[in-house]
Structure 1
Amino acid sequence: MHTATLLVEIGTEELPPKALKSLSEAFGSALEQLLQEHNISAGAARLFASPRRLAVQIADVAAQQADQVVEKRGPSVDVAFDADGNPTKAAEGWARGNGITVADAERLKTDKGEWLLFKAEVKGQPLTKLLPDFVEKALAKLPIPKPMRWGASNVQFIRPVHTITMLHGDQLIPGRVLGVASSNHLLGHRFHCPQGATLTHADSYEKTLEEAWVVADFAKRRQRIVDGITAAAKAANGTIRKDEALLDEVTALVEWPVALTASFDKAFLNVPKEPLIVTMKDDQRYFPLEDADGNLLPKFVFVTNIESKDPEQIIGGNERVVRPRLADAQFFFDTDKKTSLADRVPALANVLFQKQLGSIKDKSDRIAQVAEGIAKLLGKDGSVAARAGYLCKADLVSQMVSEFPETQGVMGMHYARNDNEPTGVAEAIFEHYLPRFSGDQLPQSIAGCAVAIADKLDSLVGIFGIGQTPKGDRDPFALRRAAIGLLRIIVEKDLPLDLADLIDLSKQSFGALLTNDNVADEVLEFLLGRYRPMYQEQGVSVDVIQAVLARRPTRPVDFNQRVHAVAAFRNLPEAEALAAANKRVANILAKVEETIPNKIDSGLLNAGEEISLVKALEEAELRSTAALKQNDYTGALKALAALQKPVDAFFDNVMVNADDVAVRGNRQAILQRLRNLFLQIADISVLN
């Protein structure tokens, strides 16, 4: 069958830059799936996406559907014919629906009976007939939250559509999609090639657009931007901080990227660099330049969508645009410094945290109280943590943070330094927001850790305490993120804190505000539930996490040690047999109805294998106990691994449920002791 490259392009007005990649991927995936579902053979697909187009190029697409044999089973023979052998109405209706008579029907015989069968060969339809409908369906599946209409048409899409191109090899596939007729005309670069281009073959798509000043491949265009801004930064003796999201957005904004360097007045460098960076990146999509020490330079790199003969004009225009934005940041900073953070705290009473839990001022008071308590649990003076907790939200009512919310915390740190607050207080104000996202840095100071934990606990205990637990995807207070952040701080900073103690400390700070009597248990359960996604992200298998969760250790550092110990144990050659043995022991003990003796009676040991097992248990218990005193869970499990052979011999040769009640109880006591040894660390019976 004839095959050729298929090219489908939708030419539009400028598409939303932050949605471009997802739109492209969804379009390509949907089109590939439709070809597959309709038995049209196809090869590998390439996706193209630029501000004014979505395109899919698929290799080796068949010109026609494959022929198919369709089988439709009818009523059983018992139902299809009456006692005299005449067709029933059911059989005749089925046959008529398939365009045949009952006599024309074939028979299908199976072990369960015999049925009427209709078989027909369906000839495949040509791609030219099917493709326009496929493209319409693929576009209808795109994740478009707010489609728009244009002109007098009722057609809806994310942006107005100007061109549709459907080419199979060099054959134009006619049809209309979104009200636009297919043609081989492509939109060129809006300024360099406004007349557009003519596509003569699907294989020539990328080259044709390149000649029309469009780099259609998203990844290639992105790399060209990376190369351009890197070279520009080097020439300016600066570096650009890595920002994948900004790179993607800029790539989605231009079709012919050209990197240029501009500058701004050095006087703006008196403003902390964070708001300057935010306004350059978020408002203008610029790439700020820093020196080798991370200090902001009075320069930035930007990417333009045109190759100008006079780039200085473009550079000057961008410098004029950014100047008033930087001036705004300077004004906010100078104005904010006139009021201290401490003087701003009362204004937090006018900012609502949650109507049942009070204002941000109330939350700050609770954070200060709990942070001081946490610092004391860690053996530190709590005054720095308490002061940082009291001031940590004060920058929310500053002009700078009101204009640039992304700078909360960091501006609080700068304003605290301006107010001559202790260095530890200023640092903790910034650190209490950490970690802000997966993989983000953690607080470095004890005070910062204490305030960060207190803040996250306040949200968890408070929201659970009024019965508003996260459900499904609904988590308006980002409690899941807060919980994982809290656990990461404790584990990675190796803090000897117990979740139960922390929850109780936070609960006390609310006084009589909480209405949920089970808040402590529910918050603890929620925190324990965050271990699974947290450790899965690190590559730890689910059964290892479940084995430790079964013991419900409430100290995160302890949990972490157990997880890594069980993960190491799981790789030992003895692990599989011991896990199976523990599962068997758990099942046996679960069925025991009588009371199991607390101690093993050596006088009742008569089988050699049970004598050997008891001796091995005593030796393993000594070694594992010594390891556990050092919190060496890995060493303890390795000591218990020596039990594999005596345990296997015991089960192979000893009847646990002996007829003699005393012997049976003694053997159950042996198994209970074995089980308890492992349960000191984890329930390894759940290991796969």
Structure 2
Amino acid sequence: MRTENLLIELGTEELPPTALKSLGESFASLFRAALESAELPFASVSWFAAPRRLAVYVTELAESQQDKTVEKRGPAVSAAFDSEGNPTKAALGWARGNGIEVADAERLVTDKGEWLLHKAHVPGQPVTALLESLLNQAIAKLPIPKPMRWGNYNTQFIRPVHTLAVLYGSEVVNITALGLPSGRVVQGHRFHGEATFELDHADNYAMALESHYVVADFQARADKVREALEANASALNLHADYDDALLEEIACLVEWPVVLTASFEKGFLDVPKEALIYTMKDDQKYVPLLDSEGNLSNTFLFVTNIESQDPAQIISGNEKVIRPRLADAEFFFNNDKKQTLESRLDSLDSVLFQKQLGTLKEKSARIARLARFVADRIGADGELAERAGLLSKTDLMTNMVMEFPDVQGVMGMYYAQNDGEDPVVARALYEQYLPRFAGDTLPSSKEAAAVSLADKLDTLVGIFGIGQLPKGDKDPFALRRAAIGVLRICVEMNLTVDLDDMVAHAASVYGDKLSNDELHSQVVDFVLGRFVALLQDQGISIDVIQAVSARRPTQPSDYAARVAAVSDFKQLEQAEALAAANKRVANILAKQSGNVSTQVDPTLFDNQYETALYDALQGAESQVRAAAAEHNYPAVLSELATLRDVIDAFFDNVMVMSDDEAVRNNRLALLALLRELFLTTADISQLAKA
């Protein structure tokens, strides 16, 4: 069967940059699904997306569906004929619907009976007949939150559509979509070359557009921007400060990227670099430049959509655009410094944190108290942590943060330095928000860690305390992120602090504002629940996590230490046999009514295997308890691993459920002692076979 490559392009007005990539990806995946549903064979589907176009490119698309035979089962033979062998109405109606006579029907015989059967030959439809429906299916499902109408059209799309190019190889497929007839006309660059041109073949799409100053391939365009940014920065012996998100947004704004260098007055560098970087990146999509020590340069890069014969004019225009934004930041900074952070505390009373939980001033006071509590337990300076907690939200009332919200915290640090606050306090004001995302850095001091933990726990306890638990993907107070932040700080900074204690203290600080009686267990379980996902992302097997979770350790660093030890233990030769033995012990004990005593009477032993197990447990117990007290779980499990042979011998030679009640209870006590010792670290019986 003949195959050709297919190109479909929607030529549009400028598409929203924040939606461009997702539109391109969705267009390809939806069209692929439509082809698969129609059973049209193809090799691959790729996508193109630029500010004024969306396109899909399908390779080796078959010219038609395969012919197929469809089996259409009719009524049961018993219901298809009357007592005289004549077709019933049911049989006649079924045959008529299939365009055959009853006599032409075949029979389908199964172990459940016999039915009339018609095997219909269905010829495959050509791609030209199917394409309009498939394209409109894909377009209708695109993620467009606010579709619009334009001109006299009744159709809707995210932006007006002006051209529809549909080529199967070199042939135009005549269809209609979004009110437009298809053709081979494609829009060029808005300012360079021809406004439109005709495309001769689907395979020449990207090449033809490039000759008309359009890089249609999204990734190729982003790569071109990246290479130009790096080359320009390197030529200046500076580092281009951008991430993938900014790079992609820039690639969504231009079709023919050209990187130029501009500058601003050095006097603006007296303003904290974070504020300047924020306005350059977020407001203007410029790329700041940093020196080898991370200091901001007054030179920056920007990406334009045209290749000008007089780039100096474009550079001058962009310098004029950025100057007022930097002047605003300079004014806000200098004006804000006239008032101390401490003097802004009362103004926090005018801002609600949450209507049932009070104002930001109340939240700041709670953070201060909780930060001191945490600091005292992790060996930090409680006074400094409390001071940082009290001032933690004051920079929200500054002009700079009101204008540029993303610099909250960092401006608090600069203003605290200006006020003469302790450097640890100043740094903690910035680091209270760490970690902000997966892989982000952690607070650099224990005092900052105490404030960060206090802020996150205050939010968790407060929101849970009024019964507003996150549901599904709805998490307006970012409680999941807060829980993960608590875990990362405790584990990666190896802080010896207990969730139970911190949650209880945070709840007590709220006084009578909270109404949820179950908040304590709910918050602790919620945070520990995030631990499961966090550990799985690190490659820890679920059975290891379940084994540790069964003991519900509420000290995050202790939890992580147990997980690491059990993961290593699972690799030991003895692990599988010991896990099986623990499972057997757990099952035996679970069948007993009430709690089984661990008080063993050696005088009731009647064989060497009981004695050997008891002696081994007695010998191991003191070492296990001592190692566990120091959270040395590898030593605990290493000691327990030595018990394998004596445990195996016990089960091979001893009948636990003896007819003699005293002997039976004594053996159960021996197993309870064994079980208790193994549970010191984790429930080993949860481990799956290695």
TM range (shorter): over 0.9
- Aligned position for 1:363: 363
Q: Distance in 2 between matches of 1:644 and 1:34?
A: 59
Alpha carbons 2:147, 2:156 under 8 Å: kept: yes
Aligned pair in 2 of structure 1 residues 678, 105: CA closer, same or farther (>3 Å)?
farther
- Aligned position for 2:32: 32
Q: Distance in 1 between matches of 2:654 and 2:348?
A: 72
Q: Deviations over 1:537-556 (max 9, x none)?
A: 22222222222111110111
Q: Does 1:515 align with 2:515?
A: yes
Q: Deviations over 1:206-253 (max 9, x none)?
A: 111111111111111111111101111122221112411000000111
Q: Does 1:554 align with 2:554?
A: yes
- Aligned position for 1:2: 2
Q: Distance in 2 between matches of 1:330 and 1:203?
A: 53
Q: Deviations over 1:503-540 (max 9, x none)?
A: 11111211111112222122112111111122122222
- Aligned position for 1:56: 56
- Aligned position for 1:625: 625
Q: Distance in 1 between matches of 2:79 and 2:637?
A: 67
- Partner SS, residue 256 of structure 1: coil
Bigger Cα displacement from structure 2, 491-500 vs 103-112: 103-112
Q: Distance in 2 between matches of 1:168 and 1:650?
A: 76
Alpha carbons 2:597, 2:672 under 8 Å: kept: no
Cα drift, residue 204 of structure 1: 1.3
- Aligned position for 2:162: 162
Alpha carbons 1:13, 1:52 under 8 Å: kept: yes
- TM normalised by structure 2 equals 0.96
Alpha carbons 1:196, 1:212 under 8 Å: kept: no
Q: Distance in 1 between matches of 2:598 and 2:639?
A: 23
Alpha carbons 2:48, 2:217 under 8 Å: kept: yes
- Aligned position for 1:20: 20
Cα drift, residue 119 of structure 1: 1.6
- Partner SS, residue 539 of structure 1: coil
- Letter paired with 2:116: L
- Aligned position for 2:261: 261
Q: Distance in 2 between matches of 1:470 and 1:578?
A: 40
- Aligned position for 1:665: 665
Aligned pair in 2 of structure 1 residues 116, 624: CA closer, same or farther (>3 Å)?
farther
Q: Distance in 1 between matches of 2:640 and 2:95?
A: 71
- Aligned position for 1:277: 277
Aligned pair in 2 of structure 1 residues 552, 154: CA closer, same or farther (>3 Å)?
same
Q: Deviations over 1:586-612 (max 9, x none)?
A: 222222237634233434444565555
Alpha carbons 2:239, 2:292 under 8 Å: kept: yes
Q: Distance in 1 between matches of 2:592 and 2:411?
A: 64
Alpha carbons 1:4, 1:169 under 8 Å: kept: yes
Alpha carbons 1:329, 1:400 under 8 Å: kept: yes
- Aligned position for 1:221: 221
Q: Distance in 1 between matches of 2:395 and 2:194?
A: 49
Q: Distance in 2 between matches of 1:573 and 1:32?
A: 49
Aligned pair in 2 of structure 1 residues 269, 63: CA closer, same or farther (>3 Å)?
same
- Letter paired with 2:510: F
- Letter paired with 1:504: A
- TM normalised by structure 1 equals 0.96
Cα drift, residue 626 of structure 1: 4.2
Q: Does 1:74 align with 2:68?
A: no
Q: Distance in 1 between matches of 2:684 and 2:75?
A: 54
Alpha carbons 2:76, 2:113 under 8 Å: kept: yes
Cα drift, residue 106 of structure 1: 2.1
- Aligned position for 1:246: 246
Aligned pair in 2 of structure 1 residues 687, 346: CA closer, same or farther (>3 Å)?
same
- Letter paired with 1:544: V
- Partner SS, residue 554 of structure 2: coil
Q: Deviations over 1:313-362 (max 9, x none)?
A: 11111001111111111111111111111111101100011111110011
Alpha carbons 2:15, 2:51 under 8 Å: kept: yes
- Aligned position for 1:148: 148
- Letter paired with 1:460: L
- Aligned position for 2:471: 471
- Aligned position for 1:123: 123
- Partner SS, residue 216 of structure 2: coil
Cα drift, residue 38 of structure 1: 1.6
Aligned pair in 2 of structure 1 residues 97, 584: CA closer, same or farther (>3 Å)?
farther
Aligned pair in 2 of structure 1 residues 353, 127: CA closer, same or farther (>3 Å)?
same
- Aligned position for 2:412: 412
Cα drift, residue 113 of structure 1: 2.6
Q: Distance in 2 between matches of 1:239 and 1:137?
A: 46
Cα drift, residue 437 of structure 1: 1.2
- Aligned position for 1:641: 641
- Partner SS, residue 345 of structure 2: helix
- Letter paired with 2:403: E
Q: Distance in 2 between matches of 1:442 and 1:596?
A: 46
Runs of 5+ consecutive residues of structure 1 not aligned to the other structure: none
- Aligned position for 1:543: 543
Cα drift, residue 646 of structure 1: 4.1
- Aligned position for 2:492: 492
Q: Distance in 2 between matches of 1:538 and 1:132?
A: 47
Q: Does 1:382 align with 2:399?
A: no
Bigger Cα displacement from structure 2, 517-526 vs 105-114: 105-114
Q: Distance in 1 between matches of 2:617 and 2:571?
A: 22
Q: Deviations over 1:558-616 (max 9, x none)?
A: 00101111122222233333333323332222222376342334344445655554444
Cα drift, residue 128 of structure 1: 0.8
Alpha carbons 1:197, 1:208 under 8 Å: kept: no
Alpha carbons 2:146, 2:158 under 8 Å: kept: yes
Q: Distance in 1 between matches of 2:654 and 2:90?
A: 66
Aligned pair in 2 of structure 1 residues 363, 112: CA closer, same or farther (>3 Å)?
same
Q: Does 1:346 align with 2:346?
A: yes
Q: Deviations over 1:120-166 (max 9, x none)?
A: 12111001111121111111111111111111111011111111122
Q: Deviations over 1:442-465 (max 9, x none)?
A: 111121111111111111111111
Q: Distance in 2 between matches of 1:76 and 1:601?
A: 75
Alignment of 1:419-434 (within 5 A): 419-434=419-434
- Letter paired with 1:547: A
Cα drift, residue 655 of structure 1: 3.5
Cα drift, residue 492 of structure 1: 0.9
- Partner SS, residue 157 of structure 1: coil
Aligned pair in 2 of structure 1 residues 173, 618: CA closer, same or farther (>3 Å)?
farther
- Aligned position for 1:182: 182
Q: Deviations over 1:159-204 (max 9, x none)?
A: 1111112212112111011111111111111111243232111111
Q: Distance in 1 between matches of 2:14 and 2:222?
A: 17
Q: Deviations over 1:386-438 (max 9, x none)?
A: 11111110111111000000000000111111111111111111111111111
**Cα RMSD over matched residues?**
1.9
Alpha carbons 2:598, 2:670 under 8 Å: kept: no
Alpha carbons 1:197, 1:209 under 8 Å: kept: no
Cα drift, residue 384 of structure 1: 0.9
Q: Distance in 1 between matches of 2:74 and 2:245?
A: 57
Q: Does 1:449 align with 2:449?
A: yes
- Aligned position for 2:97: 97
Bigger Cα displacement from structure 2, 584-593 vs 385-394: 584-593
- Aligned position for 1:287: 287
Aligned pair in 2 of structure 1 residues 111, 616: CA closer, same or farther (>3 Å)?
farther
Alpha carbons 1:484, 1:530 under 8 Å: kept: yes
Cα drift, residue 369 of structure 1: 1.2
Cα drift, residue 85 of structure 1: 4.2
Q: Distance in 2 between matches of 1:306 and 1:592?
A: 81
Q: Distance in 2 between matches of 1:261 and 1:522?
A: 54
Dislocated runs of 4+, deviation >6 Å = none
- Letter paired with 2:205: Y
Q: Does 1:583 align with 2:596?
A: no
- Letter paired with 2:454: A
Q: Distance in 1 between matches of 2:75 and 2:634?
A: 65
Alpha carbons 2:62, 2:127 under 8 Å: kept: yes
- Letter paired with 2:476: P
Aligned pair in 2 of structure 1 residues 505, 593: CA closer, same or farther (>3 Å)?
closer
Aligned pair in 2 of structure 1 residues 97, 571: CA closer, same or farther (>3 Å)?
farther
Aligned pair in 2 of structure 1 residues 554, 351: CA closer, same or farther (>3 Å)?
same
Cα drift, residue 95 of structure 1: 3.2
